[in-house]
């Protein structure tokens, strides 16, 4: 086989190997997603699960008896996901009951959410972004210990 043919084959296989990665990286525009989310007065469960997946790196499926993807997000719902993912088990009450109420309180105790609210309150897009930014920092701090 000619040298030029071998070189051509190597270049072709390299292009093929790199292409899927590029496609995957360009598949989701995080900046546009965050820009749209920040304009929402009320974030949805779908928004929260998407951002949770991006930040925590874990896909959370919708449960059959839980809220729908387009339902308005409540602070308790995303608090429970985050408290479980970050393993906020130093609150015994949350460890025992694993409820949205005590997950919300555990997040407040760790400075991830404000105390002047409840688990039933809705969340704006900006609030959701801030909450998961702080959760991400908390997770990274834990990882660096």
Stretch touching other proteins by CB under 8 A, among 9-17, 39-47, 79-87, 124-132: 124-132
Nearest distance, CB of residue 32 and other proteins, angstroms:
6
Q: Determine which residue in the list 31, 59, 63, 145 makes contact with other proteins, applying CB under 8 A.
A: 31
Looking at the Cβ atoms of 2 and 24, the one nearer to other proteins is 24
Among 19, 36, 118, 133, binds other proteins (CB under 8 A): 133
Size of the site for other proteins (CB under 8 A): 31
Which residue, among 39, 103, 97, has the nearest Cα to 77 in the 3D structure? 103
Contacting residue, 92, 143, 144, 145, with other proteins by CB under 8 A: 92
3-state secondary structure the chain: CCHHHHHHHHHHHHHHHHHHHHHHHCCCCHHHHHHHHHCCCCCEHHHHHHHHHHHHCCCCCCCCCCCCCCCECEHHHHHHHHHHHCCCCCCHHHHHHCCHHHHHHHHHHCCCCCCCCCCCCECCHHHHHHHHHHHHHHHHHHHHC
Nearest distance from C-beta of residue 4 to other proteins, angstroms: 33
**Closest CB to other proteins among residues 67, 110:** 110
Q: Is residue 60 part of the contact set for other proteins (CB under 8 A)?
A: no
Residues that bind other proteins (CB under 8 A): 29-32, 34-35, 38, 51, 54-55, 90-94, 102, 105-106, 109, 113-114, 124, 126-127, 129-134, 136
């Amino acid at each position: 086989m000619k040298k030029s043919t071998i070189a051509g084959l190597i270049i072709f296989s390299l292009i093929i190997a790199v292409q899927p990665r590029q496609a995957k990286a360009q598949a989701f525009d995080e900046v546009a997603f965050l820009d749209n989310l920040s304009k929402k007065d009320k974030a949805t469960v779908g928004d929260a699960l998407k951002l949770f997946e991006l930040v925590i790196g874990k896909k959370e499926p919708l449960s059959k008896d839980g809220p729908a993807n387009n339902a308005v997000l409540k602070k308790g719902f995303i608090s429970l996901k985050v408290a479980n993912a970050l393993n906020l088990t130093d609150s015994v009450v949350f460890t025992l009951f694993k409820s949205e109420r005590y997950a919300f309180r555990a997040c407040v105790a760790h400075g991830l959410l404000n105390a002047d609210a409840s688990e039933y309150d809705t969340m704006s897009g900006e609030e959701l972004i801030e909450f998961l930014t702080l959760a991400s920092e908390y997770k990274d701090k834990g990882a660096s210990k």
